Structure 1
Amino acid sequence: MIVSEIFRSLQGEGKNQGRPCTFIRLAGCNLRCAWCDTSYAWEGGKEMSVTEVLDRVWLINGKQICITGGEPLLQGEELLELLQKFNRHGYTVEIETNGTRDFRELQAFASICMDVKCPSSGERSDLRLLPFLTPRDCVKFVVADEDDFLYARAVMSRYEIRAEILISPVEGSDYRAIADYIVEENLPVRFQVQLHKILGIK
């Protein structure tokens, strides 16, 4: 596997926001989002075997795991092996993905947080994956402006989404305006600021 970093922190977003978590950030990404805050993981990284990753996580301690990137599903074969081993050892795993790769093979071993790319990102997710999400998964829309909101609302009305839906403002955008819009439109979502940005942690 090509690993950018492995570290312990608080989960800053998603369904497990605020929980202590061990992060495995895999290197490499097939998108170039305009507001990406981990562009250092687009390239580079260190080659590690699945066993080496497991050993590193075991030394760090903690049973809550988040596998993120980059785009972790680009390393699908080794990722599946890693998930199977985490499952056998009683770990709880969440995968953060940009929604451009089929994740169904992994859902038996991990929950999915699909980040649906809005217009401000300059990229697009594969919306055909949305119906495959389950109530244990979540969908995240990172929004910057009204165009992003209109897009998110259109996606929610067009697709059956059984997962929890999160709206997260881009850092530096008008948080209050975004919160007010959610209330005014009565959107079936949970508003969520990026906790790691507020605390100044990874």
Structure 2
Amino acid sequence: MIYRVIEIFTSIQGEGEVIGTPSNFIRLATCNLRCVWCDTKYSWEIGNQMSIEEILSKIDKKIKTTTITGGEPLLQNLVPLAKELKRIGHRIVVETNGTIKPSEELRKIIDVFSVSPKLSNSGHRLKYDFTDDWATYYKFVIVYPNKDIDEVVKFVESQKIDPKKVILQPDGNRKDYLNALNEIIQVVLDRGLQFRVLPQFHRILGIR
């Protein structure tokens, strides 16, 4: 099996429920969206072709969590790669925009589906169907706190999502990142919402 890969590196997981976890990162190439605030536009490129053996040779075997990200990783068949990662004892996180539903086979293999549905602030107006609630948690990028959080509330209600599975995070391109984080926190507190507010750890620490 050949995959189109942008980069492979090791760092600390920067966001979501797995924040702070040491992880290998396999960034797969291409994306079916072009979000205006995307901070990894280089992942839209075609990437380099790599076999599973080549990919595994590049990851840190001491680190037992591997994150498959993108771009949009579910554009490629992850089952063979995921099986090999499981064979060597890895916990697997898949970061996806939620527009492509994973197969039942893949759902049985992956430990964490970190799903980031796109709000209208992304430049897209998308229709999602999470009635089968396959995400481990849902991350939303907040650019305009009041407007965007209104949209999240409507989304959560229409999809019948447990609010405790919802994470809000600031736009990573904000220069005043801590202020952006506080703006979101204030709206959540003022409205008595049950959403979690988390930073992108790598933005604060200045790491990958």
Please, which moves more after superposition, 62-71 or 115-124?
115-124
1-side partners of 2:50 and 2:131: how far apart?
Answer: 31
The amino acid of 2:187's aligned partner reads Y
Match of 1:31 in 2: 33
Alignment of 1:112-191 (within 5 A): 112-129=113-130, 131-133=132-134, 137-145=136-144, 146-162=146-162, 164-171=165-172, 172=174, 174-191=180-197
TM-score scaled to structure 1, two decimals? 0.91
Count, aligned residues: 197
2-side partners of 1:187 and 1:125: how far apart?
Answer: 24
2-side partners of 1:47 and 1:129: how far apart?
Answer: 32
The amino acid of 1:29's aligned partner reads C
The answer as to 2:91 corresponding to 1:85 is no
Q: What is the Cα deviation at residue 130 of structure 1?
A: 5.3
Alignment of 1:182-201 (within 5 A): 182-201=188-207
Unaligned 5+ runs, structure 1: none
Q: What is the Cα deviation at residue 88 of structure 1?
A: 2.1
**SS across alignment from 1:132:** coil
Q: What is the Cα deviation at residue 126 of structure 1?
A: 4.4
TM-score scaled to structure 2, two decimals? 0.88
- Once the two structures are aligned, what percentage of the paired residues are identical? 37
Match of 2:100 in 1: 101
Unaligned 5+ runs, structure 2: none
2-side partners of 1:60 and 1:47: how far apart?
Answer: 21
2-side partners of 1:152 and 1:99: how far apart?
Answer: 15
> In the alignment, is the contact (CA less than 8 A) between 1:116 and 1:124 conserved in 2?
no
Q: What is the Cα deviation at residue 61 of structure 1?
A: 3.1
The answer as to 2:52 corresponding to 1:75 is no
RMSD: 1.7
The amino acid of 1:92's aligned partner reads R
> In the alignment, is the contact (CA less than 8 A) between 1:8 and 1:60 conserved in 2?
no
Match of 1:52 in 2: 54
**SS across alignment from 2:129:** helix
User: Structure 1 pair 48/141, CA: closer, same or farther in 2 (3 Å)?
Assistant: same
1-side partners of 2:194 and 2:54: how far apart?
Answer: 42
Q: What is the Cα deviation at residue 70 of structure 1?
A: 0.4
2-side partners of 1:10 and 1:102: how far apart?
Answer: 27
